[in-house]
C-alpha cells in the first residue's frame, strides 16, 4: 500500500509538471506569434500558405534562408538596400517562420523547389536572380536543376552542396519518435531550448557577434514546436536530397556566384564551395578571408554587388 501511494504521488507530480510545461509552452508560443507576427503577405500553393515580404522594383531577386533561419535573415541585413534597385522577395521556406508545410510530405529539396516555383508563378515573377544561404543554397541548386530556363542567375552564400555523410542532428530526432516525440517537443523545447539556439547563432556568426535583436527574433521563431518539427522533417531527408542532387551539377549552365568565408564553422569552403565550383559549368568562387557563415550580415556590400552583377548579366 505504501509503495502504491508513493507511485501515485510520483505520477501526480509528473502529470502536474507535464501539464505545467505544456501550458507554459502553449501560451509562450501564442505570445511569440503575436510579438513576431507576419511582416509580409501570403501566397497559397498546394493548399499551404507561404509567407513572403516584397519590396522595390526592377529585376526580381528571390532570397531563400538556411536551416536555422527565416526571411528576417534578409530584412535584418540587406533587404532594404537591395530593394532600392530591384524587386526583392524574401520567403519563409516551407515550415519556417510563418510558412506552412505539407505535413503529409517530406521536406525534400524537390518538394521545396516545386512549391517555390508555383509561388513565383502565382506572383508572376519571371527570370529572377536566386539567392540562397546555407541550405537555402541547396534549394537554389535544386531549382537550377529543375527549372533552369526560368532563372537568370544565382548567388549562393556558404551553400550546402555536398553531403558525404548524414548530418549530426540527434536533437532533431525527437519529433519523429512516436508519442514521446511530440510530447517532448511541446513541453521541453520552448522553456529549455534558448541556450541551445543561441549557441547555433554564435557559431554561425563566428568570428563576428550577432545582433541581439536578430538572435531574439530568430530564436523565438525557431523554437516553436511547429518550426522545430518542420526542421526535423527537413533534416531527416537532407542527406538523401543532396546526394540525389549532386549528379545534376554538371548539367547546370546558369551563371552561379559562390561566396564562402574561410573561417566558416558550419560548413567547409573546400568541400561545399570549391567542389561545387569545380562541378558547375559556369561558376565563380569568391573566398572571404576570415569570414564566417552569415555572410549576408557581415559582408552585405559584397553580396549586393554580386547580386546586381548577376542581374545585369541577364539584360
The full length of the chain comes to 315
CATH number for the domain spanning 268: value is: 3.40.50.1820
Q: Collapse the DSSP code of 138 into the 3-class scheme (helix H, G, I; strand E, B; otherwise coil) and give the result.
A: helix
Range in 73-77, 169-173, 195-199, 286-290 with the lowest mean pLDDT: 169-173
Q: Is 142 left (phi over 0), alpha (psi -120 to 50) or beta?
A: alpha
- Is the pLDDT confidence value at 300 over 90? yes
- Is the pLDDT confidence value at 310 over 60? yes
Residues 44, 14 share a domain: no
Residues 135, 31 share a domain: no
Rounded to an integer, the average pLDDT of 2-22 is 62
- Is the pLDDT confidence value at 9 over 60? no
pLDDT digits (tens, 9 = 90+) for 205-262: 999 999 999 999 999 998 898 888 888 888 889 999 999 999 999 999 999 999 999 9
Enter the C-alpha cell of residue 209: 557577434
What percentage of the chain carries pLDDT values higher than 70?
88
Please give the tally of structural domains in the chain. Answer: 2
Residues 90, 72 share a domain: yes
> Do residues 32 and 221 touch, judged by C-beta distance below 8 A?
yes
Residues 14, 138 share a domain: no
Residues 44, 26 share a domain: no
- Is the pLDDT confidence value at 97 over 60? yes
The pLDDT value recorded for residue 26 is 80
- Beta strand extents in the chain (DSSP E only): 41-45, 48-55, 60-64, 87-91, 129-133, 153-157, 256-261, 283-288
Residues 26, 50 share a domain: no
Residues 170, 69 share a domain: yes
Residues 43, 28 share a domain: no
Q: Distance between CA 112 and CA 105 in Å, rounded?
A: 10
Enter the C-alpha cell of residue 175: 519529433
The pLDDT value recorded for residue 10 is 57
Distances (CA, A) of 298 to 85, 118, 210, 315: 21, 32, 9, 29
The pLDDT value recorded for residue 2 is 61
Q: Distance between CA 163 and CA 285 in Å, rounded?
A: 19
Dihedral sign for Cα 73, 212, 99, 191, please: positive
Range in 64-73, 103-112, 133-142 with the lowest mean pLDDT: 103-112
Q: pTM for the whole thing?
A: 0.93
Range of the domain at 23: 1-35
The pLDDT value recorded for residue 18 is 63
DSSP string for 88-137:
EEEE--TTSTT----TTS---HHHHHHHHHHHHHHTT--SPEEEEETHHH
Q: Distance between CA 178 and CA 163 in Å, rounded?
A: 27
Q: Distance between CA 8 and CA 14 in Å, rounded?
A: 10
Residues 1, 115 share a domain: no
Average pLDDT score, the chain: 89
Rounded to an integer, the average pLDDT of 23-34 is 82
The pLDDT value recorded for residue 66 is 95
> Do residues 284 and 305 touch, judged by C-beta distance below 8 A?
no
Residues 279, 171 share a domain: yes
Residues 28, 160 share a domain: no
Residues 19, 159 share a domain: no
Q: How confident is the model at residue 136 (pLDDT cuts 50, 70, 90)?
A: very high
Distances (CA, A) of 21 to 12, 15, 26, 82, 175: 14, 10, 8, 43, 17
The pLDDT value recorded for residue 177 is 65
Amino acid at each position: 500500500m505504501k509503495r502504491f501511494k508513493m507511485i501515485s504521488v510520483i505520477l501526480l507530480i509528473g502529470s502536474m509538471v507535464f501539464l505545467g510545461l505544456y501550458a507554459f509552452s502553449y501560451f509562450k508560443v501564442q505570445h511569440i506569434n503575436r510579438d513576431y507576427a507576419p511582416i509580409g503577405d501570403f501566397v497559397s500553393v498546394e493548399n499551404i500558405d507561404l509567407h513572403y515580404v516584397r519590396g522595390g522594383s526592377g529585376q526580381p531577386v528571390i532570397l531563400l534562408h538556411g536551416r536555422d533561419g527565416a526571411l528576417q535573415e534578409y530584412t535584418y541585413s540587406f533587404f532594404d538596400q537591395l530593394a532600392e534597385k530591384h524587386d526583392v522577395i524574401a520567403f519563409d521556406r516551407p515550415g519556417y517562420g510563418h510558412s506552412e508545410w505539407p505535413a503529409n510530405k517530406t521536406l525534400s529539396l524537390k518538394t521545396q523547389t516545386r512549391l517555390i516555383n508555383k509561388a513565383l508563378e502565382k506572383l508572376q515573377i519571371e527570370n529572377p536572380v536566386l539567392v540562397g544561404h546555407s541550405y537555402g543554397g541547396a534549394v537554389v541548386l535544386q531549382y537550377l536543376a529543375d527549372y533552369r530556363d526560368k532563372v537568370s542567375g544565382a548567388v549562393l552564400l556558404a551553400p550546402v552542396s555536398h553531403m558525404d555523410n548524414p548530418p549530426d542532428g540527434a536533437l532533431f530526432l525527437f519529433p519523429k519518435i512516436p508519442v514521446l516525440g511530440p510530447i517532448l517537443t511541446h513541453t521541453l523545447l520552448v522553456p529549455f531550448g534558448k541556450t541551445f539556439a543561441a549557441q547555433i547563432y554564435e557559431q554561425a556568426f563566428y568570428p563576428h557577434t550577432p545582433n541581439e535583436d536578430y538572435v531574439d527574433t530568430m530564436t523565438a521563431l525557431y523554437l516553436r514546436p511547429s518550426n522545430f518539427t518542420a526542421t526535423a522533417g527537413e533534416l531527416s531527408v537532407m542527406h538523401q536530397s543532396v546526394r540525389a542532387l549532386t549528379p545534376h551539377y554538371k548539367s547546370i549552365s546558369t551563371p552561379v556566384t559562390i561566396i564562402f568565408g574561410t573561417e566558416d564553422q558550419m560548413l567547409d569552403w573546400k568541400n561545399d564551395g570549391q567542389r561545387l565550383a569545380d562541378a558547375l559549368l559556369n561558376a565563380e568562387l569568391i573566398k572571404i578571408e576570415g569570414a564566417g557563415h552569415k555572410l549576408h550580415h557581415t559582408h552585405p556590400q559584397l553580396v549586393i554587388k554580386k547580386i546586381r552583377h548577376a542581374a545585369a548579366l541577364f539584360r
